[in-house]
Amino acid sequence: MSGSGGGYEPPQRTKFDCETSIIITNVSSVDMLVLEKHKKGNTLEVILGSKESLLLEDGDGEILGAVLHINTSDIIDCIKNGASYEAEILDINSPACRVRIKRPEI
């Protein structure tokens, strides 16, 4: 017997909400010289880079790295529609850096 029929259906991806969704991810393409200037708890701005990349910029205008996540395109769409996001550094285990991305608290 071949089972219950029907093929495998992967779980549905949770819908990203521009206002309330939070993602936790590792930073990609980390600039080690910029990372050395930061510590756990620091906040970075999430900005759009060239070619629709999502970048993390510090207060000095330096880029820490990029965000590659299943919801990257959702965040890019939200930013294009006027939303802003910040990334808080959760952990630094050089060369890795983990951040929490969310809307800034007002």
Check residue 33 and give its pLDDT: 96
Check residue 5 and give its pLDDT: 53
User: pTM for the complete prediction?
Assistant: 0.84
Check residue 25 and give its pLDDT: 96
* Domains recognised in the chain with CATH numbers: 23-102 (3.30.70.2330)
Which residue ranges in the chain fall short of pLDDT 70?
A: 1-14
Check residue 68 and give its pLDDT: 94
Check residue 15 and give its pLDDT: 78
Q: Which long-range contacts (CB under 8 A, 24 or more apart) does 21-25 make?
A: 21/71, 21/74, 21/102, 22/100, 22/101, 22/102, 23/69, 23/71, 23/75, 23/100, 23/101, 23/102, 24/90, 24/98, 24/99, 24/100, 24/101, 25/67, 25/68, 25/69, 25/98, 25/99, 25/101
